[in-house]
């Protein structure tokens, strides 16, 4: 699917206005569904939203970004807090917030233990046991195990 043509189609069908700029996929987006760039009128969209939630939810995200787009070029309130934006978003049935994406598995936890006082240390990053020692008794640290969380 050509994203720019899809956004143009949604703009004509749902807003009755033309979209004159480019729309791109942006894999680096994490917590947002899309972005509008007022300087050049470009729209970026998160491909993970489309993959995880389907076309219906993605279309609502496109409507949200098009609200920003059209209101900006009409010199009306295009920001999230503006009344014009809230009213137009409700009128076209756009999403106010992007749905939460499922997260990647969280990082591993490494457990180190002091040979002298048996204090345990939980870390996300490896410790050089030759360089560092126990913070309580200055005893030698050893690697015990790795947990997946």
CA 24 distance to own-chain centroid: 15
State yes or no: is 65 an active-site residue: yes
Residues in the chain: 149
Q: Which token pair is 146?
A: 């790795």
22, 65, 74, 130: the catalytic one is 65
From first CA to last CA, the distance across the chain in angstroms is 37
Q: At what angle do helices 83-91 and 47-73 cross, to 10 degrees?
A: 120
Q: Is 80 annotated as a binding residue?
A: no
Q: Is 118 annotated as a binding residue?
A: no
Residue list, annotated binding site: 64, 68
Binding residues for Zn(2+): 64, 68
- Residues carrying an active site annotation: 65
């Amino acid at each position: 699917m050509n994203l720019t043509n899809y956004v143009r189609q949604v703009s004509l069908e749902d807003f009755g206005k033309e979209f004159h700029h480019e729309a791109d996929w942006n894999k680096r987006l994490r917590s947002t569904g899309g972005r509008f760039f007022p300087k050049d009128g470009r729209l970026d969209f998160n491909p993970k939203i489309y993959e995880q939630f389907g076309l219906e939810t993605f279309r609502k995200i496109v409507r949200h970004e098009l609200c920003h787009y059209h209101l900006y070029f009409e010199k009306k309130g295009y920001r999230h807090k503006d009344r014009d934006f809230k009213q137009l978003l409700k009128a076209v049935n756009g999403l106010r917030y992007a749905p939460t994406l499922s997260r990647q598995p969280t990082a591993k936890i490494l457990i180190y233990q002091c040979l002298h006082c048996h204090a345990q240390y939980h870390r996300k990053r490896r410790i050089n046991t030759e360089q560092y020692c126990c913070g309580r008794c200055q005893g030698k640290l050893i690697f015990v195990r790795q947990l997946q969380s």
